[in-house]
Structure 1
Amino acid sequence: MRNSLDTAELTSAIENVHRAGMPGLFAEVRDGDEVWRGAAGVADTATGRPVTPEMRNRVGSITKTFTAAAVMQQVESGRIGLDTPIGRYLPGLVPGARGEAITVRMLINHTSGLAEYLPYAYPSLKAFPVVADTGPQSLDDNRFTRFDPTELIGMGVTAPAVSPPGGTPGVYSNTNYLLLGELLQQVTGRSAARCITRNVIERAGLRDTELPVDPYVSGPHAQIYEAWFGMIDPPRDFSVYDMSWVGPAAALISTVADLNRFFRKLLAGEIVSQASLTEMRRTVPVVSQEGKVIDYGLGLHPMAAPGQSVFWGHGGTVWGAGALSMTRADGRRQMSVAVNLQRWNRLDSAGRPQPHPIDAALADFYRLAMYG
C-alpha cells in the first residue's frame, strides 16, 4: 500500500529548492501519525555546515498567530472586548476619534487603516513597499538598535492613514500587532512576551519556541542571509539581530516541529475556544506587504489549491529568515518549512521583483507537502 507521505518525493522536492539557490531549508510534513522531516543545503555558507530538521529559526510573522491567540484568550476571559475601541484601553497611543473608531478586531485583521511604521524606523526603506526606491543601509544600521514599541507605534499612528477604520481591503501593518502587545500588557499586567510565553507557548507544550530577549538565536540554528533584492551581494549574515523592531508582530524563534504542534493544537481548540476559532477564521480581504490581496482572519489566513482542501496558518519573514506553516482544516495534514535566505528576487527594469527558480521550487514543495 502506498504511504500517504511519499518520503522519496518530499526529499527530492526539498533538494530541488536548495539546487534552485536556497542556501538551506528544513521542513516537517505530517499526515495523521506519519511524520517526514527533511533538510537540504547548508546552515553556514562559509563552513558548509549542513542544516538539520531540528534547527531553530526566526519565523517572522507567524508570531502574529501566537499574539492573536493570546488576545483571544483575554477576550474569552472578558478582559478584552473584540469590538471595543482600542482608545478605551490605550488612549495615549491611539487618541481621539481614531481611537474610538478602531476596534481590537480591526487591529488583529489589519483593517485599522494604521500605516506601517517600518519605513519611518528604517530610513533607507522610506519608499517601502516600492522596493526599487529602497536601500539596505538601515538593516545594518539597526542591527543592535533597541526600539521602544511605543515609539514605533507612534510612527505608524502619526503617518497618513492607509484606509478608513474597518474599510476593506485592509492593509497589512505591523503597527497593529505592536498595539496588541501593548494591549496585552495593559490588561494582564505582564509584558506581551511573558503573556504569550505563559498562555500560548507553554500551554501548547512547545520546548523550542521563544520570544527572544537578546539578539541571538539560542540552540542549534542556521545562519540567515539577507539579499534585499540583489542589493546585498553576496547576501549578508543577519543571524545576530535585535528583534525589538518587530516584537509581538514577528520576533518569534521556533522549529518546524513546534510550529506544526502549535497549529495542530490551535485548530483543535486546545489553545483558544471553538468560538474564538470561528472568529479567527472569519476573513476579510487584506493587501499584503507584497501588494497582493489575500483573505485574512484574526492572525490566520487560508491557503488552498483549486479544488483542494483548505489549509490554515501563517507565513513570515524577517531579515534573512522565513517560514510557512499550514494545517488542513481537519488538523490531519500539516506542513512547516523554514528557509535561511530572504528577498532573493532581483528587480527588473521597472523595479518589480523578477521570478526566481527558488519561487517555483518552493511552490512545488508546498503542493507536494500539502496535497501529496
Structure 2
Amino acid sequence: MKFNYLVFFALCGFLNLSAQEYYFPKANADWEQKSPKTFKIKDAPLQEAVAFAEANEYSGSRDLRIAIVKGFEREPFHQILGRTKKRGGPAGMIIKNGYIVAQWGDTKRVDMTFSVTKSFLSTMAGLAEDEGKIADTKDLVIDYIWDGTFDGAHNSKITWEHLLQQNSAWSGELWGGKDWADRPPSDGDIDDWKLAQPKEPGTVMEYNDVRVNVLAYSLTHVWRKPMPLVLKEKVMDKIGASTTWRWFGYDNAWTEIDGLQMKSVTGGGHSGAGMFISAEDMARFGLLFLNNGKWKNEQLISEKWIKKATTPSTPNANYGYMWWLNQKGDRHWEGLSENIYYAAGFGGNFIVIDKEHDLVVVTRWLEPSKVGEFMTKVNAAF
C-alpha cells in the first residue's frame, strides 16, 4: 500500500489547502463569480446583507468637498488642500476564496477612499522593511530622516512603529497642517489643547492626519521615489489592478530628492487628496492580504510583515499598523471573529479581511455606524 505524503502533510498542517484553492482574477478580465451555494453559503441572509448595505448609504453629501468641510468643521484652520471628487452611491463586493459571491452598485467607479489609504501607506513601510531599506520598525526615524523633521527632545524619540500605530505624538507643522489642530476634542478649550505638552511616544493613540503625512514624507525619502510609483511597481501591477487608481498629495506637498521634485502623498482625504480607487481594485488588495501577502505563486509582502501589521498596539487593542483589528475593545464587533482586520475610511469605506471564512468584503459609502451590523448579517450567511 502506497503512503500518501501529500495527505499526511496536509493533515499535519504543513500545507494550507484552502489558500491553494483561491482564485486570483486576471488583469483586464471579468472577475469570475460563483453561486453562494457553491460554498454552502445561505443565499437569503447574504442578499439581506447586500440590501442592508444599499439601504444604509452614508448620510453625508455626495459632494465630498461639502462632506469634508462639514465633517471637520471644528478644526481651526481646516481647509481643502488637495483634490476631491463627487462620489457615487453604495457599492461593494463579497469575495469568497477569490470568487465574487455578491456585489452591488458600480464596482468599477473610482472614488475617494479617505483613511483606507492608510493601510496602503502602511504597506509601503512593510515593503521597505522587507527589502532592508528600514532595518526594523522599532528603529528611530531620526536615524533615517535627518533634515530636521525629527529634531528635538520629543520628536527624536519617535520610531517607525510609533508613526505606524498613530501613537507618535509628533509635534510640528507639515504642508500647512499643524499637529495640534487636527481633530481637537469635542469638549474643552481649544487653547488648552493647543498648548498641551505632547504625550510620550508610544503611550496614547491619536488619530492625526498631519502625523500620518509625516510618515508618508519619511517613506518617500527612504524609498527615494514617490509612493504611488512604489505601490504600482511592487503591488498593484502584480495583482492585476486597473490603471484607474490614483494616489494624490496636497497641492503644495513637494519635496526634493536626488535633485528631483517629488510629490509627497497623504494618508487620507481629511483635507482632500489620498487614494482614489475602485471597489474592484480595493478587493484585489484585500485578497492579497487574505492570502498572507502572496498573489498566485509570488510573495509580494512578507507574512512576517502582515503579522506585525495586525498585532494590537499597546495603547489601543483595536489598532495595529494602520489596520483596525476586531479585538475586544471600543471597536469590537460583538459575535464576530477576533481575527478579522480591516481598513476603514471616512464616509463608510471598508476593506474587511476575514481569514476564518476566507472572505474579503469591500463596502463603499455605508453609514459608518452600521458596518458592525452589516458584517453580522454577512456572518449569518455562513
User: TM over 0.5, yes or no?
Assistant: yes
- Aligned with residue 27 of structure 1, among 68, 87, 92: 92
- Counterpart in 1 of 2:107? 53
Matched, 1:280 2:309: yes
Deviation sequence 1:306-355 (CA, Å, 0-9, x none)? 343231111012xxx44111111347112111118xxxxxxxxxxxxxxx
**Cα drift, residue 105 of structure 1:** 0.9
SS of the aligned residue for 2:334 comes to coil
**Cα drift, residue 69 of structure 1:** 0.9
Q: Distance in 1 between matches of 2:56 and 2:128?
A: 41
Q: Distance in 1 between matches of 2:183 and 2:112?
A: 22
**Cα drift, residue 301 of structure 1:** 1.6
Deviation sequence 1:255-298 (CA, Å, 0-9, x none)? 22221210220242223101111111111155xxxxxx662111
Contact 2:113 2:345 in 1 (8 A): yes
SS of the aligned residue for 1:314 comes to strand
**Cα drift, residue 86 of structure 1:** 0.9
**Once superposed, which parts of structure 1, at least 4 consecutive aligned residues long, lie more than 6 Å away?**
19-23, 116-120
Q: Distance in 2 between matches of 1:174 and 1:121?
A: 9
Contact 1:4 1:31 in 2 (8 A): no
**Cα drift, residue 131 of structure 1:** 5.2
**Cα drift, residue 249 of structure 1:** 4.1
- Aligned with residue 144 of structure 2, among 73, 89, 109: 89
Q: Distance in 2 between matches of 1:106 and 1:256?
A: 30
Tell me the amino acid that sits aligned with residue 284 of structure 1: S
SS of the aligned residue for 1:71 comes to helix
Counting only pairs closer than 5 Å after superposition, residues 1-372 of structure 1 correspond to structure 2 as 3-6=41-44, 7-18=46-57, 24-32=89-97, 33-39=99-105, 52-81=106-135, 82-91=137-146, 92-114=148-170, 121=177, 126=181, 128-130=183-185, 161-167=197-203, 169-207=204-242, 208-212=244-248, 247-250=266-269, 251-267=274-290, 268-270=292-294, 271-284=300-313, 286=315, 295-303=318-326, 305-309=333-337, 310-317=339-346, 321-330=347-356, 332-339=358-365, 362-372=371-381
**Cα drift, residue 12 of structure 1:** 2.4
Q: Distance in 2 between matches of 1:327 and 1:253?
A: 20
Q: How many residues align?
A: 281
- Counterpart in 1 of 2:34? none
Tell me the amino acid that sits aligned with residue 246 of structure 2: E
Tell me the amino acid that sits aligned with residue 92 of structure 2: A
**1:56–1:295 Cα change, 3 Å:** same
Identity of aligned residues (%): 15
Q: Distance in 1 between matches of 2:93 and 2:265?
A: 26
Q: Distance in 2 between matches of 1:126 and 1:185?
A: 24
**1:163–1:367 Cα change, 3 Å:** same
275-284 or 93-102: which moved more? 93-102
**1:201–1:160 Cα change, 3 Å:** farther
Q: Distance in 1 between matches of 2:348 and 2:58?
A: 18
Tell me the amino acid that sits aligned with residue 161 of structure 2: R
In the superposition, the TM-score normalised over structure 2's length comes to: 0.63
Tell me the amino acid that sits aligned with residue 236 of structure 2: I
Any stretches of 5+ residues in structure 2 without a counterpart?
1-36, 63-88, 252-262, 295-299, 327-331
Q: Distance in 1 between matches of 2:111 and 2:94?
A: 17
Contact 1:119 1:126 in 2 (8 A): no
**Cα drift, residue 164 of structure 1:** 0.4
In the superposition, the TM-score normalised over structure 1's length comes to: 0.64
Tell me the amino acid that sits aligned with residue 308 of structure 2: E
What's the Cα RMSD here?
3.6
Tell me the amino acid that sits aligned with residue 193 of structure 1: P
- Counterpart in 1 of 2:65? none
Any stretches of 5+ residues in structure 1 without a counterpart?
40-51, 135-157, 216-243, 287-292, 341-357
